[in-house]
Structure 1
Amino acid sequence: MSKGNRGRDRAAAKRIVEQQKAAERRRRVTIWTTVGVVAVLLIAGLVGWGVLANQNKKTEASQVNTPSVAVDEGTAFAVGTGPVTVDIYEDFMCPICHEFEKQTGSTITQMVTDKKITVRYHPVSILDRASNGTQYSTRAAGAAAAAAVGGKFLEYHQVLFDNQPEENSDGLDNAKLIELGTSVGLGDTFAQAVNNKTYDSWATKVTETFSSRGYDGTPTIVVNGKKVEGPNNTLPTTEVFTQAVTSAAG
């Protein structure tokens, strides 16, 4: 092979090598550009998701209709004007709550009449899981809120327990909840609130507050900030409850 041919071959080989290096540089630039674009899109997506999540939370918060007559951060309905505060957290599907009402309800009523206590009833909905998907606890709590706004909380509270459905049943439907309201003197405004689920989101908020306060079962009875229970975390008897109130009164 002549020197001229060898020179041309070397030049051609050099061009090929340079072309390959240039192609490799372009490939790297393309890869990193793609990575950069993906990263930007991912960050934008995360930021967008965060903004949307915050907007959803604000929307949910704005949709909570707190009953105008609710007390204790909008979580309860107060009865009485006595110096000792009794908080009762209850679920309208809870049979033990009904048991406490039957056992100690008349004593509580007398203490209210005697102006010894102020009772704050907190309707919670921890037993929605026990109503076959109908969310009875939430609906009943929401209906109780509507009754409170209508000035008939205690009366409705009583008929709800008098007609308490069994756990793991469908619970009472809205038509029955409205019928019970009618029986205690509630009218169209109450019925509309039940059918429109006006206070259902409020019931969820009350339940969340209940949990944030460290409670997890119903009924939970608290006298002047102190939880009252029977032996071994059992339901307090009327005597134990009365002693707690007497002690709190000093």
Structure 2
Amino acid sequence: MSKGKDRAAKARQIVADQKAAERRRTVTLWTSVAVVLVLFVAGLIGYTVLSGKDDGTLVIPSAAVDEGTAFAVGSGPVVVDVYEDFMCPACGNFETTSGPALKQLADSGKITIRFHPVAILDHFSKGTEYSTRAAAASAAAGQEGKFTELHDVLYANRPEENTEGLSNTKIIELAASVGLTSDTFVAAVNEGTYEPWATRATKTFSDRGYTGTPTVLVAGQKIEKPTTDVLTEAVTRAAG
């Protein structure tokens, strides 16, 4: 082989070696990137688990009824479903005007009230998601057997729309005023244990075709104007 051909062969070999080295560097780089991403994701998952804020964890209260979306008060033969948002002004009015009559019907054994806390007004609490937090707190209270107590005191202290709503500390304080003081309840409120449940209950509300609160049904029939007289008449009619 001539010296010219020998030099050309060596040149080609050098180029080939450089390309091979470049490929190895590329493979090494992407391998390193992949490792970093894996470690980042693992760290994020680990932090989420340790912090107890995994929003994907759905905890359904065992005390809940109607596919785990409601809390029952009373045991009468006629079922009255009430869908409410704890920030809703119309719900507050409903509780003031018709709530006592419904509870009296439940106490007298005529109806079973199924309260469905939903969260459709989060955008009216300046980013604090009060509707979701309040619904979640009511679920924690329901699990403790004190849904009605917290339900009533939250409506007695209902915040106005376009405010931050009640803080978790205030919710816990109000709960304590009605005898709800367990460490389990406090932890559930502070850690948002039932917030995914509130989101799911709200989705069920929407899937059932409802859009506003309060939505009230008697024996499965939606009541368009749920005043005390109309509800009483509907209950009487449903009872036969």
TM-score in terms of structure 2 length: 0.76
Which residue number in structure 2 is paired with residue 137 of structure 1?
131
Q: Does 1:215 align with 2:205?
A: no
Larger radius of gyration: 1
Which residue number in structure 1 is paired with residue 221 of structure 2?
226
TM-score in terms of structure 1 length: 0.73
Q: Do the aligned partners of 1:181 and 1:190 also contact (CA within 8 Å) in 2?
A: no
1:61 Cα deviation (Å)? 9.4
User: Which amino acid in 1 is paired with 2:134?
Assistant: A
Which residue number in structure 1 is paired with residue 185 of structure 2?
190
In 1, Cα distance between the equivalents of 2:192 and 2:92? 24
The correspondence for 1:246, drawn from 214, 236, 239, is: 236
User: Which amino acid in 2 is paired with 1:193?
Assistant: A
Q: CA RMSD in A?
A: 1.2
Q: Do the aligned partners of 2:56 and 2:196 also contact (CA within 8 Å) in 1?
A: no
- In structure 2, relative to structure 1, the CA distance for the partners of 1:61 and 1:194 (3 Å cut) is closer
Moved over 6 A (4+): none
- In structure 2, relative to structure 1, the CA distance for the partners of 1:243 and 1:75 (3 Å cut) is same
User: Which amino acid in 2 is paired with 1:143?
Assistant: A
1:249 Cα deviation (Å)? 0.8
> How do 1:1-250 residues align onto structure 2 when only pairs under 5 Å count?
63-187=57-181, 188-230=183-225, 236-250=226-240
Q: Deviations over 1:200-250 (max 9, x none)?
A: 0000000000000000000000111100012xxxxx211011111111111
Which residue number in structure 2 is paired with residue 23 of structure 1?
none
User: Which amino acid in 1 is paired with 2:237?
Assistant: S
Q: Which consecutive unaligned segments of at least 5 residues does structure 2 have?
A: 1-53
In 2, Cα distance between the equivalents of 1:125 and 1:62? 17
1:62 Cα deviation (Å)? 6.5
In 2, Cα distance between the equivalents of 1:195 and 1:115? 36
- In structure 2, relative to structure 1, the CA distance for the partners of 1:249 and 1:104 (3 Å cut) is same
